[in-house]
Every structure is written in structure tokens, then in C-alpha cells.
Structure 1
């Protein structure tokens, strides 16, 4: 009951902070401009600082060697999530952009806003290194496959690959390998991933960050959780998210992603012969099962919004799944903890 009580306590705190954010916007203390600024501050400063400060605080190379199984478990989780929701999108006959955004919304959980505080509360001794190692795989997949799923499907231009208006064929130049490689690398140039890489470099080099510097960094990073939930609460008051409630795939997807999948993943990793083959402790398996059941990552709504690719659909998944997580995480925790 100890760890389960920690999860329930975290969820009650999450609900209160969501309500504060919703109330502030409804009372017109601030609006969309302030929310956009909060989002930018979270993604570019608070979450990277939170991950960095927790990762380098007392962690050494021996910790990395002892916990590298977290990276393997994260890769296994994402492979199974991608396969499961590709098949589910096909079974539900979700095609084109709708099918892709559906997959992105259910593959990528909100590890930054909700997962990190849960992990740190459950595993105060190992949570920081778990977060750092998980983030390497998480960010790599998000900024490649996640971006791909959120991009609109390119439509062939008139005459492309066929007859042009003047009767001649139009050749569409393909980007060079160098330009495609550069584009892929640019996706990794984001503060969260850079923060993880700097932290790992310092740990591998045996460099200790002085407490005089770590203390203010911890204070700054500690702002990430309340601000992220206040931000999400504000989105409820400013977004036409309710249109997603008419989509049948919402209910099927949330049940599969936030209840069936994390419990099934835990059973696969802890109760089958596979458990003896993986370099993972029971705490790592619990951690990855909880991460698998997190609500939709807020960044997915940002990715779709910047290309006007069904942004309200994605935002609806973020908001509804966040509310549903207050129940689903308690249910999952009661089974696996």
C-alpha cells in the first residue's frame, strides 16, 4: 500500500493543480498568450533543468552500468506500443492523417509533465537515473517517429509524376541523403534531449556538479510539475476539445492504452519467462508499466498544431486522457504495486 498510496497522493495533487489552472483562465486572470508562454517555458527550460539536475545529483558511472536495462525496457515498450496501435488504427479503419494522429496520441505518453514526478516520488533513490536513461530513448523516438506521425500526408502536386499542364512530365527532385540526414539530426536539437546528453556526458566523465549550483537548479526544476498541470488545466478552458468526444476511437484507444496495455506489459515482463532474460529489476518493470499508461503527451498537440494537422483532435486526446488518467493510473497502480 505504500507505493500505491504515493501514486494516489500524486493524482490528488494533479487534480487540484488542474482545477487551479482551469479556474485561473475562466476567471480571466490570464489567457492564451500566457498559456503559450508557459508551454514554451516548460519545454525549453523547466523540464530540461528538472531532468538534468536530478540526473547529475549523486549519479556516477556505476549507476549507469547497473541501470542500463531501463533503456532496453523503454525501447521494448515503444516497439510494442507502435505495433499495437498501428494494428488498432487499421482495425478501426482510421486512415490517412486521422489514423496517424490517433497512433501518435496513444504511443507517446506525457512522461515530462506527469511521468517524471511519479517516478521521482515512487523511487527517490533511483528515479533520477531512471528518468535520464528513459529520456534518451523516449526523445529519440518522439523526435523521429513521433514527428513523422504528426506530419500531414503529402499530396501529389498537379502533374507530378504524370502529365503537366503543357503536356510534359514534371520531375520532382528528391532531397539528397545529406539534407535528409541533416533534417533528422535537427529534430534532436531540443533542450530536453540536450539536457539529457550533457548530464550523461558529465556522469561518464566523472564530473560532480557542486551543490551550490545544484540547489537553484533543483528549485527551478521543481516548478515544472505544478506549472505543467496548471497549463493543462488552462487548456481545458481555451480549447474546443469536446469535439473529440464524438469519436468512437477515443474510448477504445484510451481503454487499450491506459488500462489494458500497461497491465499486459507488466504481466509480460514480470510474470513470464521473459522476466528472467531481461537485465531489469522489479522496480524498473513497475516504472515502465506506469510510463506505458500515461495520458497523451502534450507535445503531440504542439506538433499537429504547427502544421494545422487536426490540432483540435490531438488536443482533445491530451485533455480527455489527462482527466481519465486520474482514474486509470489508480487502477493500474492497484494491480502492479
Structure 2
């Protein structure tokens, strides 16, 4: 019941901020232009600063060496999630942008705004280092593969375009990595490996700026709910199959793989690390996926619907998963 109370508390706060954003748009305090500005501020400043400040705060090379199993588990989780939902999308015959957004919505859970407070509450002693190490892998994959999945597929209309050269394709790949959040992660990792400590006088305002990301992202998403026809996702059969697979079946199966199979004896991980990563694997859709799709006008209603419905469903699913793996 303690863990259930923590989850409910996080979701109640999540809902209140969503309602504030929804109400502001409905009352015409601001509209689409302001929402676009909020999205740009979040993606280019607030979220990168949040990731960077969390990663470098109190983390050193010794922490990396002692707890690198968290990074390994996070990479394993994303690899299995990506493979699972690529296959699920193929089996459900989801093609083009619909298939890609479906995969993105179910691969990337809301680790930043729901997972981090949950981890800190459940593991008060090691939670901070778990968050820092997980964020390095989590944000690295989100801002590369996640961005790729949320981009529109180039149209093949008109004349057949010339096949891009190897250099052009390499440049395109590098551009996907050249975003503020991923650059912030790489700088943080370099500072940790070099043993450089950020002075508290600098880190404190960075934490303050990064702390704005959570409420603003939820207020933004609430406004997005008011300006998009997100409820159409309720007619999509893949919503129900995807949420059951992602938020119930996958966390339990992943926990069994890590604790009952041959991996249990060889992985350099603790029980708390396994519990943490299995809870993270069952989180609802990351709000950033709706931002990625919204900024390119690539099925934003579909992505936003996944965020809202999965968040509401997580109130039940996280309690169920917790009762099985804890």
C-alpha cells in the first residue's frame, strides 16, 4: 500500500497540472502560438538542463563503476522494448507513421516526470545515482531513436528523388544526435569521467531551471489536449493491445527474465536495481513523444491520446505490477 500511495500521489499531481493547462486554453488565456513557444522552450532549454543537472549532481567515476549495472539494465530494457513493439506493430499491420508513433509511444515511458519521483521515494539512499545513470542511457536513446520514430516519413510523390550519398546519410544521422538534450548528456558524461565537479553555486540555479520542466511540460500537454482530437485514439484497436503488452505483460516478463533465468547469476545488479528497472519498463507514454510529434505535425492527436490514456491506465497497472515484482 505504501508504494501504491506513492504512485497515486504522483498521478494526482500529474492530473492537476494537466487540468491547469487544459483550463488555460479553454479559457483563452493563451492558444496555439504560446503552446508552440512552450514546446520549443521545453525541448531546447528546460529538459536538457534538467537532464544535465540530474546527471552531474553528486555522480563521480566511482559511482559509475559501482552501479554501472543500472546502465546495462536500462540498455537491455530499451533493446527488448524496441524489438517487442517493432514485432507487435508488424503483427498488427501498423504501417508508416502510425506504426512508428505506436512504437515510440510504447517504447518510451514517462521516466522523467513520473519515474524519477517514484524512484527517489522508493529508494531514498540509492535513488539519486540510479536516476543519474539511467538518464544517461534513457535520454540518449530518446533523443536519437525516439526522434527518428516521431519524424514524418518523406513523401515519395513526384519525381523519384536521387538516392542520398553516403556522406549525406552520415550527416543526417549526426544531425539527429545534434540536439540540446543529447549534447547535454555527453557533456555530463565527459565531466563525470574527467572527475570535474560542478560548483553548487552553479548547480543550484541549473536545478531550479530544470525543475520548471515537469510542471511546464504537463501544462503544455494539458493545452495540447484542448487543441487536438486525442479521443480518436480510443477507436484504435492497437491502443488496448499495446497498453496490455507494455504496462502489464512486459514488466512481469522482464522481471522473470532477470530473476529466474540464467541472467540472474551473471548480471552485476542488485535486487533494488532489478525492481527499479522493471517498474520503469511499465510506465505510461513519455510526454516528450507528444511534443516530438506535435512540433512536426505528425499525428499529434494519436500520440497525445496514448499519453493521456496510458497515464490513466497506469493507476491500475503500476499497482498490479508492483504487487507481482515487489
TM-score, normalisation: structure 2: 0.89
Give 1:90's aligned residue: 90
CA contact (8 A) 1:69 1:280 kept: yes
Q: Encode CA deviations 1:235-260: one digit per residue, 9 max, x unaligned.
A: 22221101111111111111111121
CA contact (8 A) 1:47 1:112 kept: no
Give 1:74's aligned residue: 74
Instruction: Name the CA shift for 1:93/1:114 in 2 (closer, same or farther; >3 Å).
Output: same
Instruction: Name the CA shift for 1:212/1:154 in 2 (closer, same or farther; >3 Å).
Output: closer
Matches within 5 A, 1:221-236: 221-236=210-225
Q: How many residues align?
A: 326
Within 1, Cα distance between the matches of 2:50 and 2:147? 24
Instruction: Name the CA shift for 1:19/1:317 in 2 (closer, same or farther; >3 Å).
Output: same
Q: Could you tell which deviates more after superposition, 251-260 or 98-107? A: 98-107
Within 2, Cα distance between the matches of 1:34 and 1:157? 33
SS at match of 2:39: helix
Cα distance, 1:34 vs structure 2: 2.4
Cα distance, 1:66 vs structure 2: 1.0
Within 2, Cα distance between the matches of 1:31 and 1:243? 22
Instruction: Name the CA shift for 1:201/1:278 in 2 (closer, same or farther; >3 Å).
Output: same
Give 1:197's aligned residue: 186
Within 1, Cα distance between the matches of 2:4 and 2:317? 13
CA contact (8 A) 1:55 1:132 kept: yes
Instruction: Name the CA shift for 1:323/1:3 in 2 (closer, same or farther; >3 Å).
Output: closer
Matches within 5 A, 1:256-271: 256-271=245-260
Cα distance, 1:131 vs structure 2: 3.0
Confirm whether residue 208 of structure 1 aligns to residue 185 of structure 2: no
Give 2:149's aligned residue: 149
SS at match of 1:30: coil
Within 1, Cα distance between the matches of 2:33 and 2:316? 31
Q: Encode CA deviations 1:84-113: one digit per residue, 9 max, x unaligned.
A: 112222222223332232222211223233
Cα distance, 1:283 vs structure 2: 2.0
Cα distance, 1:191 vs structure 2: 1.9
Cα distance, 1:155 vs structure 2: 5.1
State the structure with more CA Rg. 1
Cα distance, 1:202 vs structure 2: 1.7
Greater helix share, 1 or 2?
Answer: 2
Q: CA RMSD for the aligned pairs?
A: 2.4
